[in-house]
Amino acid sequence: MKMWVCQGFLLLLFLPLAREQSVTAGASPEGAAGRSQSVASSPGRSDSLAWKLEEETREDPTRLKVLKYLSEHPELFQDGRVEVQRLFQQEALNVKLEPELQRCCMTDLEKGCSEEVASGWDLECLQDRLVDLTPDCRDVVGNLTELQSQDIRRNALLMRACDAVIQAQCHEVAENPIDAGDLMECLVQNKHHRVTSEKCAVGVTRFQLIQMGDFSFSYKFKTACEEDVLRLCPNMRKKVDVMICLGTAVRNAMMWYAVERQVSPRCRQQLRVEEVAMSEDIRLQPELHDFCRQDIYRLCQNVAFGNAQVIECLKENKRLLAWRCHQKVFRLQEAEMIVPELDYTLMRVCKNMIWRFCQETDGSNILQCLKQNKNSEWMDPKCKRMIINRQLTQNTDYRLNPVLRRACRADIPKFCQSILNQAAVDVELEGQVISCLKLKYADQHLSPDCEDQIRVILQESALDYRLDPQLQIHCSEERCRA
């Protein structure tokens, strides 16, 4: 059916072209030569099928749907794929109102975007108001957003704002005639590069926020994970919901070696890229941002959103957070401890030390590797402080220490069930379970794997009393020093 529809679209588009070629074939040699000379003399235009497609469809309001279908099904148009991409890019450079927007979105534009239309920000304004748009307009804006996610060069305003960083860091992917979301990914990765302007960084973040509304707005993520979404997360559309669903499946598989809900390797790889990008700004995690909005205003008012600074501020003030915000931060830390690559601040502060000590280490074991090397003479002091900070967090609750949790999965319910029965959901147990296991370690009742982990914790806390939360609770700092 789709093939038939596409062929119908193509017939409508190419019928004038076929008619023109028929006329040309019957024309005099002089006329044909004159036509060829005229086309050849047009600067920057080749006598190609795609160029004639552009000429014939310039004012055709259906062109967006046709070109979108062609770009998504290159097997139907192999010879002209690069030309179709070029046509899309040329369309993007014209910031005049898109015919389809004019036809389907005039009411929405008049209602909330009249000023933006005059300055060429009409599409951006509609994207920001996507959920409030009329159905027909929402479909058009959604289609345009999908096309931009596939090739961000179609967003002329963002391209102009990010020209410097594109030239410095992303020139190789920018020069590819066919983009598949790589340029946008490069811009996200270099959002805080020294040559990136504030206008570019704001524009990139803004597009990321738009992408959170629908997973189809992220071309690479959709392409890599569409089958996994249908299998594991059916009926989900919001990208953030899909990411939570897939991320939970991945972390459960890592934590408990589950196989029944495995995410495909290709999707898992792209999901990790998306999660790392999301961890950089709390606004890209809508649920966490909404639950913690008042705490952010109260405790982190002067902290910038980028580089995960607000997230780190909330972690540092966790004891002062409202209960619901505290729960969300706890869950975030639980996920970060299972997959340390999602801990943006740790990865940024310890970037060089990870390269020095943990190059061959699997991503899930990066924090473990850093802990083992924290006392090396080559360890960077800032990274060492960050490692200790994360150890302090882990020791507040066994659920934040995935290695311990896995090693002691049989011992904890066997010896410490009474503590678990009194525990609040997603709130730290302040080291009570770990203290319980320490007592059983002294009695030599633990399983070998659990015993090994408790031995390490005892050795660490002997060197730094801060790593024993129960000791801190029952003994003030002054008494301990005395």
Q: Are 17 and 56 in contact (CB under 8 A)?
A: yes
SS3 content of the chain, % helix, strand, coil (to 5): 75, 0, 25
Q: Over the stretch 289-317, which tens digit does the pLDDT of each residue have?
A: 999 999 999 999 999 999 999 999 999 99
pLDDT of residue 30: 44
pLDDT of residue 396: 92
Residue located via tokens 């030309």: 83
pLDDT of residue 404: 94
Q: Is 285 exposed, middle or buried (0-12, 13-18, 19+ CB in 10 A)?
A: buried
**Cα torsion through 109, 115, 119, 123, rounded to 10:** -30
pLDDT of residue 178: 73
Annotate 118-156 with b (16+ C-beta within 10 A) or e (fewer): eeebbbbbbbbbbeebeeebbebbbebbbbbbbbbbbbb
Residues 6+ apart with CB under 8 A from 254: 338, 339, 364
What is the value of pTM for the model shown? 0.76
pLDDT of residue 19: 41
Q: Which of 472, 461, 385 has its CA nearest to residue 428?
A: 472
pLDDT of residue 79: 53
pLDDT of residue 422: 84
Q: Are 10 and 50 in contact (CB under 8 A)?
A: no
pLDDT of residue 159: 93
Residues 6+ apart with CB under 8 A from 429: 396, 397, 398, 419, 423
> Which residues, given as ranges, of the chain have pLDDT below 70?
1-98, 116-121, 257-261, 474, 476-482
CB atoms within 10 A of CB 261: 15
Phi, psi of 59 (to 5 degrees): -105, 10
Separation between Cα atoms, residue 25 and residue 33, nearest integer Å? 11
Question: How is residue 166 written in tokens?
Answer: 């594109």
